[in-house]
Amino acid sequence: MTHATTVTAGPAGGPTRRVSRITPVSVFLWGLRIAIVAVILYGSFLSISSGRLTASQWRDLLVFGISTGSVYSLIALGYTMVYGVLRFINFAHGEVFMVGAMVAFYVANGLATTSLWVGSPVVSLLIVLISAMVASTSVAVIVERVAYRPLRGAPRLIPLITSIGASFTLQYLVRGLVGPSTKAFPRMEPLRGTFDIFGLVILRSQVVVIVAALAMMGGLYLFVERTRTGKSMRAVSEDPETAALMGIDVNGTIVRVFAVGGAMAGVAGALWGLVFPSLNFFSGFLPGIKAFTSAVLGGIGNIVGAMLGGVSLGVFESVGPSLVLAGYEIPAFSQLKDVVAYAALVMVLIFRPTGILGERLAQERG
């Protein structure tokens, strides 16, 4: 509670009026907000005025942040969709992403030994994407059926703890199957080099990641908003009991939510190999936490918010260290990108506790 409110009666028959009263807590929070803005602006001024980076280097950082954030957005969609329906955070979702990335690696590694990899790169990428989507979707559906459905009526803390257990289980199952060593994604020659887009030079792999992520996110938004299945998902997220009375298969709808979220994580896993070519059984943990952060940043339960939160987080952690920390001459500032990412989350929540776009369900329910 940042301020106290008093209710005064209006004229006869008129509405009541709320009057806000300043409290020490509200003064402290506003002082903290002003101090944060001042620190960021001053650090940015020092960094930019020093001329440490050229305009092209700033541009490269921004594009890299957008491409990384696009992957975070795809993973975050699974978190926010499951929360919207079941009201708990599926911490095993990062491992669903990792399984998709691992399958994408083995499929790509197999295709790299054939002429298809060089001769038909678009077909090869589609095969890799579809394989990763199928694998992640299957794992997500199995986790829902085995780990979560038996706990459907349990207190929220129990499924939350179960999701952490499912996360570790998937990690070490993959470790047992493929070993602990780090895998390197094979490089695709047509994706080497750059594109010149209106004078803006961007790596081809980054263009592919951004375009593919935008296409998948746009398709998901239209699917949820325009199709009968999407309307069923929204109905179940609003009120499962009423949705069941209206003839909607609640269990089937929940399975489809996990399947769609798993498919998005599979696409993210395949695209991850184009940005960060190394992979191991633990590679789902940090991107999963970043994606959860993205969902909270954009507004948990809000699909568009998850998309925006992911891109914002990617830009924060890419540009933030060079823009703010470098201005204060902090040693090894480039290694503090994770600190910047989580600090950005805290700062956004201080200014807007419901996230950038707000928690959609909370707003609709009043």
Q: What is the pLDDT of residue 196?
A: 79
Quickly state the pLDDT bin for 362 (edges 50, 70, 90). very low
Dihedral (Cα; 91, 92, 98, 100), 10-degree rounding: -120
Question: What average pLDDT is seen over the chain?
Answer: 86
* Letter string b/e over residues 57-69, b meaning 16 or more CB atoms within 10 A of that residue's CB: eeebbebbbbbbb
What predicted TM-score, i.e. pTM, was given to this entire model? 0.86
Q: Which two tokens stand for residue 365?
A: 């329910």
Are 132 and 284 in contact by the 8 Å Cβ rule? The answer is: no
355 compared with 182, residue with greater pLDDT: 182
The sign of the torsion formed by the CA atoms of 167, 91, 212, 56 equals negative
pLDDT on residue 115: 87
**Is the pLDDT at 256 greater than 90, yes or no?**
yes
Q: How confident is the model at residue 363 (pLDDT cuts 50, 70, 90)?
A: very low
